[in-house]
């Protein structure tokens, strides 16, 4: 297994390095670095969206959640796909038509406010630092379970390897690398399913064993309300996720974006289904693992044949690297383009902006490692919490803001800050919680954000008409105002 894995990893990193150096030669401007020169097509674009979505939260966290709780967790995917459909029809076309480089660019242009830009950029950095914690924690779990490597060492390796191709080619290199990573994930997970079925003696005996172990594994470990809350958190965050929406800007046109979202849902369906099966079958083989996050790595190393196990391990690594890459690009751009380039040095050259972007990426890659070492929760829990924050402060100003003319800058800022604080208070003061009230933090956050957006917008200065016309056109009466 060690020799096979070493060969597969060498081949994998060879391909990644080749793409990175090729992309670096074609990266000359900030638009090249942040938006790949707007050249990405639908199939590569769909694979990129899938790779960004299918993070450690899926191949480690979701597989582990199926291992622990059974089939009911599958229903959260419908919330994810609903978020993608909202994005496809209500968000993506207008964002691509606008043709900005970052989501704070949209916030500033839509609401005519550089202060709103700054607030959105800061919130992006804060929320995605949480997301990176989950990715690095997952890499530490995998390395410890398979190789006996200390988590800190594994995290620094991920930072170095992902930072390498992120710094070189920006979005162009990451797009083609994530296309390869998506294919590896699909193949690795799909090939593992029949192998594990053979190991457990077939599907029927496995189902009987799981039912005898805990009847909830094949039924309802979570209730409908809990699953709805999880689905809402994922759906709202996907519909307005900056690290996904930024990818729209790199695609050729609006039609390409819609096609890419369809391709992405197809990839996610395949990956989600195989992760469900693998989680259940791993529970049959190893009923009492000390941590559900170990399920995927133990299964890959202890059960699968060397070449299949190596593919699956590389698939897990690919999922982590693709998400880390996307998040670093978004947070780096928030610092360099939206904060440094707009407030500190508006006259900065293209070369300086790319340099600052690269410096920000390095800094923002290292900070989450400190928090990941503390292990504040399992990987899936951290991913869900991050989704709640993103949904609470971005869903309303992005989705509603793109479809309601009357939104104002003050309303957008109140919505972002109010939604963020509502989730923070609900989750961490101990005064509320789903188990106690049947109301989840994401529902509180989005509701607070929506009320503030509508109320404050009604009583504050309208956005300049030129800004509104950019997104809605010059005829107010036809837009249902």
DSSP letters spanning 175-191: HHHHHHHHHHHHHHHHH
Distance CA 61, CA 378 (A): 7
Confidence of residue 57 (pLDDT cuts 50, 70, 90): low
Confidence of residue 56 (pLDDT cuts 50, 70, 90): low
CA-based radius of gyration for the chain = 22
Dihedral of CA atoms 165, 170, 174, 176 in degrees, nearest 10, equals -110
Confidence of residue 366 (pLDDT cuts 50, 70, 90): confident
Structural contact between residues 140 and 132, judged by C-beta atoms closer than 8 angstroms? no
- Written as six digits, the tokens of 466 are 């030129």
Task: Please give the pLDDT value at position 481.
Answer: 44
Query: What would the mean pLDDT of 342-351 be, rounded to a whole number?
Result: 86
The gap from C-alpha 381 to its chain's centroid, in whole angstroms, comes to 14
Give the rounded percent of residues in the chain with a pLDDT score beyond 70: 94
Structural contact between residues 438 and 423, judged by C-beta atoms closer than 8 angstroms? no
Structural contact between residues 215 and 60, judged by C-beta atoms closer than 8 angstroms? no
Distance CA 175, CA 166 (A): 10
The gap from C-alpha 249 to its chain's centroid, in whole angstroms, comes to 16
Distance CA 427, CA 412 (A): 23
Q: How many CB atoms lie within 10 A of CB 431?
A: 10
Task: Please give the pLDDT value at position 480.
Answer: 46
Question: Is the model more confident about 206 or about 327?
Answer: 206
Task: Please give the pLDDT value at position 477.
Answer: 52
Closest by CA position to 324, among listed 367, 354, 266: 367
Q: In this predicted model, what pLDDT tens digit does every residue of 442-467 receive, in sequence order?
A: 889 999 999 999 999 999 999 999 88
Residue 2, judged by CB atoms within 10 A of its CB (0-12, 13-18, 19+), counts as exposed
Q: How would you label 218-231 residue by residue, b for 16+ Cβ within 10 Å and e otherwise?
A: beebbeeebbbbbb
- According to DSSP, residue 40 is labeled B
Residues whose CB is less than 8 angstroms from the CB of residue 392 and which lie 6 or more positions away in sequence, other chains included: 236, 419, 420, 422, 423, 441, 442, 445, 446, 448, 449
Q: How many CB atoms lie within 10 A of CB 26?
A: 14
Question: Is the model more confident about 240 or about 457?
Answer: 457
- According to DSSP, residue 217 is labeled G
Specify the range with the lowest mean pLDDT, choosing from 29-38, 117-126, 351-360: 29-38
Distance CA 477, CA 237 (A): 31
Query: What would the mean pLDDT of 24-28 be, rounded to a whole number?
Result: 77
Distance CA 65, CA 252 (A): 37
Place domain 2-380 in its CATH homologous superfamily. Sodium/glucose cotransporter (1.20.1730.10)
Angle among Cα 265, 34, 45 to the nearest 5 degrees reads 20
Structural contact between residues 145 and 290, judged by C-beta atoms closer than 8 angstroms? no
- Cα–Cα distances in angstroms (integers) from residue 310 to residues 325, 392, 412, in the given order: 22, 39, 47
Structural contact between residues 154 and 369, judged by C-beta atoms closer than 8 angstroms? no
Question: Is the model more confident about 146 or about 161?
Answer: 161
Angle among Cα 275, 279, 284 to the nearest 5 degrees reads 150
Distance CA 235, CA 255 (A): 22
**Residue 454 dihedral angles phi and psi, to the nearest 5°:** -70, -45
- Cα within 13 Å of Cα(104), Cβ side: 26
Specify the range with the lowest mean pLDDT, choosing from 58-62, 202-206, 339-343, 408-412: 58-62
- Average pLDDT score over the chain: 84
Q: How many CB atoms lie within 10 A of CB 274?
A: 20
pTM: 0.76
Query: What would the mean pLDDT of 383-402 be, rounded to a whole number?
Result: 87
Residues whose CB is less than 8 angstroms from the CB of residue 258 and which lie 6 or more positions away in sequence, other chains included: 88, 92, 93
Q: In this predicted model, what pLDDT tens digit does every residue of 405-446 receive, in sequence order?
A: 999 999 999 999 999 999 988 887 755 444 455 677 888 999
Distance CA 347, CA 344 (A): 9
- Written as six digits, the tokens of 395 are 């869903």
Distance CA 2, CA 4 (A): 6
Residue 349, judged by CB atoms within 10 A of its CB (0-12, 13-18, 19+), counts as exposed
Does the structure show a pLDDT above 60 at 223?
Answer: yes
Specify the range with the lowest mean pLDDT, choosing from 213-227, 307-321, 408-422, 457-471: 307-321
Does the structure show a pLDDT above 60 at 476?
Answer: no
Task: Please give the pLDDT value at position 416.
Answer: 95
- Cα–Cα distances in angstroms (integers) from residue 71 to residues 226, 294, 297, in the given order: 14, 18, 20
Task: Please give the pLDDT value at position 475.
Answer: 59
Does the structure show a pLDDT above 70 at 478?
Answer: no
Task: Please give the pLDDT value at position 174.
Answer: 78
Task: Please give the pLDDT value at position 430.
Answer: 58
Structural contact between residues 128 and 386, judged by C-beta atoms closer than 8 angstroms? yes
Structural contact between residues 261 and 88, judged by C-beta atoms closer than 8 angstroms? yes
Tell me the torsion sign for CA atoms 379, 50, 185, 192.
positive
Does the structure show a pLDDT above 60 at 1?
Answer: no
Q: In this predicted model, what pLDDT tens digit does every residue of 160-204 receive, in sequence order?
A: 877 777 777 777 887 888 888 788 888 888 888 998 898 888 889
């Amino acid at each position: 297994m060690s020799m096979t894995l070493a060969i597969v990893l060498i081949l994998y990193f060879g391909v990644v390095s080749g793409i990175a150096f090729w992309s670096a030669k074609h990266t000359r401007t900030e638009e090249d670095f942040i938006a790949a020169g707007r050249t990405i097509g639908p199939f590569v674009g769909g694979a990129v969206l899938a790779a960004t979505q299918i993070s450690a939260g899926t191949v480690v966290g979701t597989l582990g959640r199926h291992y622990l709780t059974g089939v009911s967790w599958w229903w959260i995917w419908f919330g994810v796909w609903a978020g993608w459909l909202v994005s496809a029809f209500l968000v993506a076309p207008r964002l691509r038509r606008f043709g900005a480089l970052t989501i704070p660019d949209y916030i500033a242009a839509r609401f005519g406010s550089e202060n709103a830009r700054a607030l959105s950029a800061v919130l992006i950095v804060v929320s995605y630092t949480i997301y990176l914690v989950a990715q690095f924690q997952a890499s530490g779990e995998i390395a410890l379970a398979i190789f006996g490597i200390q988590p800190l060492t594994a995290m620094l390796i991920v930072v170095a390897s992902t930072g390498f191709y992120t710094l070189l080619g920006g979005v162009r290199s990451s797009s083609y690398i994530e296309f390869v990573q998506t294919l590896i994930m699909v193949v690795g997970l799909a090939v593992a399913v029949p192998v594990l079925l053979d190991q457990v003696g077939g599907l029927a005996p496995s189902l009987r064993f799981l039912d005898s172990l805990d009847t909830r594994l094949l039924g309802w470990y979570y209730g409908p309300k809990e699953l709805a809350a999880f689905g809402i958190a994922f759906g709202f965050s996907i519909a307005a996720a900056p690290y996904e929406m930024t990818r729209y800007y790199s695609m050729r046109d609006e039609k390409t974006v819609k096609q890419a979202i369809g391709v992405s849902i197809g990839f996610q369906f395949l990956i989600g289904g195989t992760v469900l099966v693998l989680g259940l079958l791993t529970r049959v083989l190893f009923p009492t693992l000390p941590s559900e996050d170990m399920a995927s790595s133990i299964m890959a190393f202890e059960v699968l044949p060397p070449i299949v196990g190596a593919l699956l391990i590389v698939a897990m690594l690919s999922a982590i690297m693709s998400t880390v890459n996307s998040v670093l690009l978004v947070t780096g751009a928030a610092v360099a383009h939206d904060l440094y380039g707009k407030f500190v040095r508006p006259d900065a050259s293209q070369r300086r902006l790319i340099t600052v972007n690269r410096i920000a990426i390095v800094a923002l890659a290292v900070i989450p490692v400190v928090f990941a070492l503390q292990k504040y929760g399992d990987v899936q829990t951290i991913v869900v919490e991050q989704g709640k924050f993103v949904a609470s402060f971005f869903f309303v100003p992005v989705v509603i803001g793109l479809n309601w003319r009357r939104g104002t800058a003050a309303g957008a800022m109140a919505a972002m800050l109010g939604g963020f604080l509502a989730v923070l208070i609900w989750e961490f003061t101990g005064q509320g919680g789903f188990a106690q009230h049947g109301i989840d933090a994401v529902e509180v956050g989005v509701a607070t954000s929506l009320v503030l957006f509508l109320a404050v917008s009604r009583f504050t200065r309208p956005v300049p008409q030129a800004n509104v016309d950019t997104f809605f056109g010059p005829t107010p009466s036809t837009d249902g105002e």
